[in-house]
Each structure stands twice: as C-alpha cells, then as structure tokens.
A and B are shown apart, each in its own frame.
Chain A
C-alpha cells in the first residue's frame, strides 16, 4: 500500500484537488445555479499563493488563508451582482468573470506598472506565469508533506458539505433548486441563500487553487481557461448533482481514468466530451443516482449516506 501511494502520488494529489473542485461546483449546482466561475476563483487562489511564496517569500499557510479570504471577498460583490440572473444568463455572466480573471492575470503587470515606481516590475509575469522553486517533499507518516494539507482540506470540505446536506440550510438550498418561486413563497430569502452557496463554492475553489499551486509549480493563465472550468463541470455532471458523493465519484473516475488507461491520454478531451454528453443524456442523475442511493440505503442501512431529500430530488429531475 505505501508503495502504491508513493508511486502514484501526483495522481493522488490531483484526484484530491479535483474532488475539492468538483465539490465547489456541486454546491452551486445543488442550489440550481450553473456558475462557471470556479476556474477563475481557482486562479485567484493559485496566484495568491504563488505571489506570496515566490515574490513575498512568506509561508504557505499565510498564502492559503489569504487565498480563501480573497475568494470570499471577491465572491460576495460578484455574487450580489450576478445572482439576480437566471440559468443561462448566469452561466454566461460567470463565464465572462472567469475570462476577465484570466485576462487580468495575463495583463496584470501592465496595470501594476502604471501605479508603481519600478517600471520593470513583474508580479503576474504574463503568459509565462510564475514558477515556484522545487523542494523535495519530506515523508510524514507515509505521505509527502505536500499531500497532507490537501487531504485534510478535502476531508474538511466533505464534512462541511455532508453536514450542510442534512441540515436546514441544505434543505433550503435543495428547495431553491426544485422550485425557486415555491421556495420564496414559503418565506425563503432566495437571493441570500443563493449568495451563501455561491460564496461557499467560490471559497472552496479558491482554497483548492491555493493548494494546487505548490503541486503544479508553474502558475500561468493557460491553466485556468474555459476548458478547465468544463473539466470541473464534468466531475459534477458525471457524478451526479443531487448528492455530495456524486462529485467525489466523478472527480476520482475522470482524473484516474486517463492514468489507468494510457491510450486515452492523448484523447482526453474526446473522452471528456463523450462522458459529459453520454452521462447528461443517458445517465441524467449521474453515478450517484438518487435511486441507487435509496437502494443502497435499503440494502446496507446506510443512514448517514442519504437521509433527507435524495428520493425527492429524483422526482424533481424526472
């Protein structure tokens, strides 16, 4: 087992980061919002850490905290601006936000130089991006010390979403997905809860981006283009959007599949596209189909797996 882990440590790292990203889009999808800004928030997190590490020479922990704070601080005004929009319009507006983040990362230096004394200053370093120096990770209880923070982060996020899923908040978010008008007539402040979901999703994405920075080491705008956002969407679509187990399954399958089936590696985009299309057409509830979850619950008495509204969600999607 330890040998398997050390041999495949980069795959495991990426699976964990992608699980966090899948969960970040899940929380907005579970509220009925198609927000495509996750790649943008991921970029914000990664760039924050990269600048803290490479240019300010300060510890990683500070960068991580700063990334999440920045993610929340940006998500609140942006959410307030765009969350009044409905499905397609929201998707397009958030897509625009993601592109603007990328354009800022590409051209940020020009803006910084306008306000700075030093006319040759490089902060974002344009298309080349920021390169972090490589330090050999130390083994800590069988895992490299770069993997531990990611693992703990994913655990915390899963715990948070699982608690949310069965709480009053989780039910309110699901009710907004099922019928926004009905929810608001029952006294739910729809805009406030949508904002809650959006900010939570953005913060999770920013944190995941921050944790990914030391692993990818080269942080350039090309990492965060539209197709990155689509990758993230694919995790949630394949896994299913009605239960938090869905994105975990989806991210694990889609990240490890190209590693296990080597011949698929050059055709990753085709496989991704096929999986998205086939699962939205023939598997609209994803791998974590509520009907399967209900069945599992009956067979194994998995009380914790799906207690509240999974069977209702099935009806809602039908």
Chain B
C-alpha cells in the first residue's frame, strides 16, 4: 500500500475529468428530464476535434482545447435538433434539417468520386443550415407531441450509433495518438512517493476551473436563472417570457462543451483516442449521475470523485478487468438502496 498517495492523486484527476462529463449529463436531465445517451459520443468527438486541430491544422494545444469545446457544444445543439426536438414538437424546418442530415450522411459514407462526395456533403450541410434556421424561427409547430417517456433515450441510442460509426469512417477503428512532443513529460514531485505529470495537473486544474465557471453560470447569471426556471417548470417559464427553445439550445451547448472538454483532457492524459472511447465513460457517467442524484450538479461533481477513486483503486489493488464490475456494483447498490442518489434530495422515484 506504499503507493496509496499516488493512487489517490490518480483518482483525483480522473475523477475531475469524469465530473466535467457527468455535470453536462445531469444538467440536460435536470432541464429536460431526458437521458442523453449520446453524451459519450459527444465526448469522443470533442477529443477528435482537438486531434484534428493539432494534427491537421498544426494549432497549438492551448488554442485547440477551446475550439474542440465549441465544436462539441455545437454538435450537442445539433443533436438536440435532430434527436430530441422532433419529439417535443414537429416543425417543417425540422423535416428539412433531417433531409439535409441524410444527404450529408450519404455524402460522407458513400463510395463517391472525391468531387461528388464533397458536393453532396456540402449540399447536405447547407440544407441542414436552412432547416436549422427554419426550425428555430418557426413559431407555430406542425404538432406538439407527448411521446412515451422512453422515446428520447431510444432516439439518443440511435444518434450514438451514427456518431460512433462516422468517427470510425473518418479516423478508423484503431487507436489514434496525439504527437509525442506536444507536452512536457517531466513529472512534478508532490510528496516523497507521489508525482503528478504536467498533463494530469492540467486536467485537474482545467476541470476544477470549468466546474467553478459552470457553478457561477448556473447560479449567478441571467442565463442560469432561465435554465433553472425551465428545470422547475417549462410552462411557467414560457408564460414568463423566457425563450425556452433558445435556453434549451444553450443548455445543450454547455453540456456538449463540458463533454468535449472531458474528451480532450482524458484523450490527452491517456494519449489514446478511439471511436469507442465514449462507451466506457458513458457508463461511468451514468453511475455518477445516479449516485449523485439525477439533476443535481453538485452531487454529480462529488460522485464523480468517488467513482474515479473506486476505478483507480480497484485497478491498483484488485484487478484491472474487474474495474467496471465494481462501478456497476456501486450503481446497482445505490439504485436499490437509495434511488434518489447519495447526494441527491429525496424524491420518490420508486414505483
């Protein structure tokens, strides 16, 4: 057990990155009452956005991280428009958006000549843009819908599949790595037998900063007030003149940006990017938001450190292949004993 301090540090920075991911997850749940299972795919795309910036555009890292966050944020907004918005209300703009999306997919994955491929992809993208604007501007939807509770979850499972296969098409199923000399590797000595590498320090520092920014954003700003109002009651917020559609888009943007940041940071720390990297963090994230209490941002942050510690300690002292089994054991235990979460306020969720 001599390396316990080292393991605690590892648990700390991995927990911090997991917290970023889970806070976005729980934010969307708190506002819209839906589980966005495509959050893991957004996480993965965030990492690949930064990878593209660094390898293809040769941008420095400090510049690539915010760009990747913005990219992942817009991806999440688009995802809302494609997967969740049509379940709330159908608009003609939404139909145009979907038509453009299918054209875009055809262009991206079909076996076309290069110029035809670019043409179809661009046409799809511009139709999507038109549809997006139309959808946003539409005042009277074709139909306002009440769908079964599970519909958004199933829809987001479908979206995950599309996003992951697109990444496999673009980057291949193998592991991609950032260039080796991107970051100094000489570790800082913290105590006699515990070190932290610069990249791990960056993960910890940036995660804590973003957590602070999020909490200020939610608690102190006008936008945060609107988000909290909608989480409380969408109908009342609408009556009070809040632009609900816009605030929902903001919520998805924040959630996607956080997932993207977590993706870049974990991708950098392990230097291991692969299209399926979202799956693992997805399941860990689900555990975190349930242990933390669904919809509770502070709870999610604390639970993330707990889950991070459990994962690191079970790898260090038991067996790496049982890591996820312990996380799931915790998940099922919490679900059975206290479904409202360890840190959550008690709310009847049991039948």
Q: A residues bordering B, Cβ < 8 Å? A: 34, 81-89, 91-93, 95-97, 99-100, 103-104, 106-107, 110, 180, 190-191, 226-227, 230, 233-234, 237, 263, 267, 269-270, 272-278, 280-282, 284, 317-318
Q: B residues bordering A, Cβ < 8 Å? A: 35, 82-83, 86-87, 98, 102, 105, 109, 111, 146-151, 153-155, 157-162, 164-166, 279, 283, 286, 290, 319, 321-322, 324-325, 328-329, 331-332, 335-336, 339, 349-351
> How far is it, in angstroms, between the C-alpha of A82 and the C-alpha of B147 when the chains are bound?
24
Task: Establish whether residues B161 and A270, one from each chain, have CB atoms under 8 Å apart when the complex forms.
Answer: yes
Do A284 and B158 contact each other (CB < 8 Å), given the known contacts A180-B351, A274-B102?
no
Task: Establish whether residues B155 and A280, one from each chain, have CB atoms under 8 Å apart when the complex forms.
Answer: yes
Task: Establish whether residues A270 and B109, one from each chain, have CB atoms under 8 Å apart when the complex forms.
Answer: yes
- Interface-centre pick from B82, B157, B322 (highest chain A CB count, 10 A): B157
> How far is it, in angstroms, between the C-alpha of A34 and the C-alpha of B266 when the chains are bound?
31
Prevailing SS type, chain A contact patch: helix
Task: Establish whether residues B105 and A274, one from each chain, have CB atoms under 8 Å apart when the complex forms.
Answer: yes
B159 contacts which chain A residues (CB < 8 A)? 273, 277
> How far is it, in angstroms, between the C-alpha of A100 and the C-alpha of B155 when the chains are bound?
25
- Interface-centre pick from B83, B155, B162, B351 (highest chain A CB count, 10 A): B351
B151 contacts which chain A residues (CB < 8 A)? 280, 284
A280 contacts which chain B residues (CB < 8 A)? 87, 147, 151, 154-155, 158
B319 contacts which chain A residues (CB < 8 A)? 107, 110
> How far is it, in angstroms, between the C-alpha of A83 and the C-alpha of B321 when the chains are bound?
28
Task: Establish whether residues B350 and A284, one from each chain, have CB atoms under 8 Å apart when the complex forms.
Answer: no
A97 contacts which chain B residues (CB < 8 A)? 328, 332
> How far is it, in angstroms, between the C-alpha of A283 and the C-alpha of B244 when the chains are bound?
26
Please tell me which one of the listed residues B146, B161, B324, B328 contacts residue A276 in the complex, with CB atoms under 8 A apart.
B161
Task: Establish whether residues B350 and A86, one from each chain, have CB atoms under 8 Å apart when the complex forms.
Answer: yes
A107 contacts which chain B residues (CB < 8 A)? 319, 321-322
> How far is it, in angstroms, between the C-alpha of A82 and the C-alpha of B148 when the chains are bound?
21
Can you list 7 A-B pairs, Cβ within 8 angstroms, ordered by A?
A: A34-B154, A88-B149, A88-B153, A103-B324, A270-B162, A273-B157, A281-B155
Do A277 and B321 contact each other (CB < 8 Å), given the known contacts A97-B332, A230-B161, A237-B154?
no
Do A100 and B166 contact each other (CB < 8 Å), given the known contacts A91-B153, A318-B146?
no
Please tell me which one of the listed residues A86, A93, A237 contacts residue B331 in the complex, with CB atoms under 8 A apart.
A93
In the complex formed, the residue of A with least CB distance to B164 is A269
Task: Establish whether residues B350 and A276, one from each chain, have CB atoms under 8 Å apart when the complex forms.
Answer: no
In the complex formed, the residue of A with least CB distance to B279 is A226
> How far is it, in angstroms, between the C-alpha of A93 and the C-alpha of B331 when the chains are bound?
7
In the complex formed, the residue of B with least CB distance to A226 is B279
Task: Establish whether residues A89 and B290, one from each chain, have CB atoms under 8 Å apart when the complex forms.
Answer: yes
- For residue A61, give the distance in angstroms from its CB to the closest CB of chain B: 33
- For residue B91, give the distance in angstroms from its CB to the closest CB of chain A: 12
10 further contact pairs, Cβ within 8 A, besides A95-B283, A104-B325: A34-B154, A84-B351, A87-B149, A96-B331, A100-B325, A107-B321, A269-B162, A274-B102, A275-B158, A276-B155
